[in-house]
């Protein structure tokens, strides 16, 4: 496990200089070609019958013509009612299921179908994408409860990007800083909390995807670059041979993963995933790989501008108020949720409620 000094800004590194010559026989090179369809099935079983019970399931609500197309959702519920909602301002789609007091064996099954494909942006060929609307720019520069853009976040972003010219160089500097200064902490529950101010104040730069990619998003926004987290789940194996970057077993109940995007004026939304670089370094067999290992170097090169289409996005929402809930807003919505008169259940604790998520490839 590699950990660097707290505010040591990594110098921008040319992507072409990252790979050891001749060291990687199977290039990690996603190419936008064939669309693949996946069906994701979420099953929730609530325990007990005391009082009104509610559950929420995130539904795919990100659509982009170049890499992801939601194909529809349906559901079956035992002993209750279910309705789909859109939550402003992000437009996150959520299914809310509800059971009255005394309902026997509350359960719901949700099926979502999504088409996705590999994604890659050629950063050597600037283009002229349609401009981002003022509303979307404001939303993707805004602070959230867990992702502030002032104080230590702003100070850190300023140090990292000092002297950088243009948004591409700023973005790459922030990406490289995350890769070089953070680490994946396997003891963190789930995908992490995403409390980036706490990470920077304490100097504890370990975490998982919801921490490390949120840190990228917060630093980018503090540097004046629109950015966003995309919360989703891995649905298939990696076709590039990465054990750490795929859904390797069924069910995929614990395969949640968030990625990030940054808006670059001559390219539009650009995919990035510094958290997965740190995941490769820690988990790719035999584990605890050095940064100059061929697979780590390939991931570092590729995941600034590209990612593999074995993952689907649910939403990019923050500070999510669940419809019909009396509980607090969620920092982000990536897991199923449940609630009763006793309060919000722990979505990572099977003692509170149980759920499974499965995926399979389908014809489209």
pLDDT at position 159, please?
98
pTM higher than 0.75:
yes
pLDDT tens digits, one per residue of 192-201: 999 999 999 9
CA 66, distance to chain mean position in Å, is: 18
**Is residue 201 situated within a structural domain?**
yes
pLDDT tens digits, one per residue of 239-283: 999 999 999 999 999 999 999 999 999 999 999 999 999 999 999
pLDDT at position 103, please?
86
CA distances from 276 to 62, 239, 283, 342 (A): 21, 15, 10, 37
Helix 167-181 to helix 274-283 angle, to the nearest 10 degrees?
Answer: 30
Cα–Cα distance between 284 and 286 in angstroms, integer? 6
pLDDT at position 102, please?
83
Last-in-domain residue among 287, 308, 329: 308
pLDDT at position 169, please?
98
**Is residue 77 situated within a structural domain?**
yes
pLDDT tens digits, one per residue of 56-93: 999 999 999 999 999 999 999 998 999 999 999 999 99
**Is residue 81 situated within a structural domain?**
yes
pLDDT at position 18, please?
40
pLDDT beyond 70 at 15: no
Query: Do 68 and 137 reside in the same domain of the chain?
Result: no
Determine the average pLDDT of the residues in 89-105: 93
Query: Do 112 and 123 reside in the same domain of the chain?
Result: no
User: To the nearest whole number, what is the mean pLDDT of the chain?
Assistant: 92
Query: Do 134 and 89 reside in the same domain of the chain?
Result: no
**Is residue 6 situated within a structural domain?**
no
pLDDT at position 5, please?
36
pLDDT tens digits, one per residue of 292-332: 999 999 999 999 999 999 999 999 999 999 999 989 999 99
pLDDT tens digits, one per residue of 110-150: 999 999 999 999 999 999 999 999 999 999 999 999 999 99
CA 154, distance to chain mean position in Å, is: 22
pLDDT beyond 80 at 20: no
pLDDT band at 49 (very low <50, low <70, confident <90, very high): low
pLDDT at position 342, please?
85
pLDDT tens digits, one per residue of 143-187: 999 999 999 999 999 999 999 999 999 999 999 999 999 999 999
Cα–Cα distance between 252 and 208 in angstroms, integer? 17
pLDDT tens digits, one per residue of 210-230: 999 999 999 999 999 999 999
Query: Do 228 and 255 reside in the same domain of the chain?
Result: yes
Query: Do 353 and 216 reside in the same domain of the chain?
Result: no
**Is residue 76 situated within a structural domain?**
yes
Query: Do 130 and 221 reside in the same domain of the chain?
Result: yes
Cα–Cα distance between 346 and 336 in angstroms, integer? 10
Query: Do 354 and 272 reside in the same domain of the chain?
Result: no
CA distances from 33 to 116, 117, 309, 351, 353 (A): 10, 7, 10, 43, 40
Give the 3-state secondary structure of residue 115.
strand
Task: Say how many C-beta atoms besides its own lie within 10 A of residue 51's C-beta.
Answer: 13
pLDDT at position 16, please?
33
Q: Give the range among 18-27, 47-56, 70-79, 275-284 with minimum mean pLDDT.
A: 18-27
Task: Say how many C-beta atoms besides its own lie within 10 A of residue 316's C-beta.
Answer: 23
pLDDT beyond 80 at 1: no
Query: Do 224 and 336 reside in the same domain of the chain?
Result: no
CATH for 239: 3.10.620.30
Q: What is the largest CA-CA distance in the chain?
A: 66
Closest CA to 331 of 203, 188, 148: 148
Residues contacting residue 73 through CB under 8 Å, at least 6 positions apart: 59, 60, 84, 93, 95, 110, 111, 112, 113
**pLDDT, greater one: 120 or 351:** 120
**Is residue 4 situated within a structural domain?**
no
**Is residue 2 situated within a structural domain?**
no
Residue pair 45/355 in contact by the 8 Å Cβ criterion: yes
Residues contacting residue 166 through CB under 8 Å, at least 6 positions apart: none
Domain that holds residue 348: 36-116+318-362
Between vectors from CA 356 to CA 355 and to CA 359, what angle results, nearest 5°?
A: 150
CATH for 327: 2.60.40.2250
Eight-class DSSP state of 56: E
Strand partners, 184: 207
pLDDT beyond 80 at 190: yes
Query: Do 177 and 273 reside in the same domain of the chain?
Result: yes
Total of domains in the chain: 2
Query: Do 215 and 252 reside in the same domain of the chain?
Result: yes
Q: Dihedral angle at the C-alpha atoms of 114, 120, 123, 126, nearest 10 degrees?
A: -60
Query: Do 332 and 354 reside in the same domain of the chain?
Result: yes
**Is residue 344 situated within a structural domain?**
yes
pLDDT at position 26, please?
59
Bridge pairing between strands 81-87 and 119-120: unpaired
Query: Do 216 and 71 reside in the same domain of the chain?
Result: no
């Amino acid at each position: 496990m590699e950990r660097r000094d707290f505010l040591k800004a990594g110098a921008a590194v040319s992507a072409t200089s990252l790979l050891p010559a001749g060291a990687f026989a199977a290039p990690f090179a996603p190419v936008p070609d064939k669309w693949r369809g996946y069906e994701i099935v979420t099953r929730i079983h609530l325990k007990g019958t005391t009082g009104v019970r509610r559950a929420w399931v995130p539904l795919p609500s990100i659509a982009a013509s170049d890499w992801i197309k939601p194909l529809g959702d349906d559901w079956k519920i035992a002993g209750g009612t279910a309705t789909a909602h859109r939550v402003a301002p992000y437009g996150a789609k959520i299914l809310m299921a509800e059971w009255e007091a005394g309902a026997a064996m509350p359960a719901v099954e949700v099926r979502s179908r999504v088409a996705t494909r590999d994604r890659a942006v050629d950063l050597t060929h600037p283009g002229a994408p349609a401009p981002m609307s003022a509303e979307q720019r404001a939303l993707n520069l805004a602070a959230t409860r867990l992702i502030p853009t002032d104080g230590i976040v702003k100070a850190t972003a300023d140090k990292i990007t000092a002297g950088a010219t243009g948004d591409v160089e700023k973005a790459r500097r922030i990406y490289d800083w995350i890769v070089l200064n953070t680490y994946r902490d396997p003891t963190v529950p789930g995908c992490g909390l995403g409390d980036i101010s706490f990470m920077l104040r304490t100097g504890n730069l370990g975490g998982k995807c919801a921490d490390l990619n949120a840190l990228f998003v917060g630093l980018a926004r503090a540097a004046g670059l629109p950015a966003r987290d995309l919360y989703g789940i891995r649905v298939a194996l990696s076709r590039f041979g990465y054990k750490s970057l795929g859904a390797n077993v069924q069910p995929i109940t614990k395969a949640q993963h968030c990625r990030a995007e940054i808006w670059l004026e001559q390219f539009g939304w650009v995919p990035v995933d510094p958290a997965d670089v740190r995941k490769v370094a820690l988990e790719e067999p035999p584990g605890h790989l050095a940064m100059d290992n061929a697979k780590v170097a390939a991931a570092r090169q590729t995941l600034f501008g590209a990612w593999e289409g074995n993952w689907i996005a649910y939403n990019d929402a923050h500070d999510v108020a669940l419809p019909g809930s009396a509980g607090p807003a969620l920092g982000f919505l990536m897991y199923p949720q449940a609630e009763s008169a006793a309060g919000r259940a722990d979505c990572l604790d099977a003692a509170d409620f149980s759920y499974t998520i499965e995926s399979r490839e389908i014809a489209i």
